[in-house]
């Protein structure tokens, strides 16, 4: 198999974080969120696939990734932002409901614990609460 122009003879995908649900109750404020910690991996993946289910028809989600970096001394641990993405709210396109997305991050989690933060981009009103879900896979390439 060849991916991205390099000779890859094996592709392995492992679940690193099982399905984890999060609940945004009705009347949640804009930027309310949840944080999830992924422990440093003994074997860092070549890429990470983060699956997010957002059934809300009201609000996009923001997925932020932080490396929990130990600066030592008096500073100690700080969250260093790696990247962020928008997870769109649920929408129907050509008769198909789109409410789950996969984001890929390459070499993002080399030597740190990682904090994943999901927050809502718009306030929710009465009856607009929802339950979403998050799942993370590691992708490992083997080359010759």
Model confidence pLDDT, tens digit, residues 77-125: 788 888 899 999 999 999 999 999 999 988 666 667 888 999 999 999 9
Q: What's the pLDDT at 75?
A: 66
DSSP structure class, residue 1 = -
Q: Does position 2 have pLDDT exceeding 50, yes or no? A: no
Of 39, 11, 12, 50, which is closest to residue 132 (Cα–Cα)? 50
Residues of 41-55 as b/e, b for ≥16 C-beta within 10 angstroms? beeebeebbbebbbe
- Residue ranges and CATH numbers for the domains of the chain are 11-143 (2.60.120.1090)
**pTM of the predicted model, to two decimals?**
0.84
């Amino acid at each position: 198999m060849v991916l991205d122009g390099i000779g890859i003879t094996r592709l392995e995908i492992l679940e690193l974080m099982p399905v984890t649900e999060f609940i945004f109750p009705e009347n949640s404020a804009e930027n309310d969120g949840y944080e999830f910690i992924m422990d440093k991996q003994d074997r860092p993946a070549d890429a990470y696939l983060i699956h997010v289910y957002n059934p809300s028809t009201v609000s996009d989600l923001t997925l932020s990734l932080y490396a929990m970096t130990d600066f030592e001394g008096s500073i100690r641990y700080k969250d260093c932002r790696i990247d962020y993405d928008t997870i769109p709210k649920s929408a129907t396109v050509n008769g198909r409901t789109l409410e789950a997305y996969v984001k890929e991050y390459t070499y993002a989690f080399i030597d740190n614990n990682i904090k994943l933060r999901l927050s809502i981009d718009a306030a929710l009103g009465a009856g607009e609460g929802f339950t979403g879900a998050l799942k993370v896979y590691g992708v490992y390439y083997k080359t010759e």
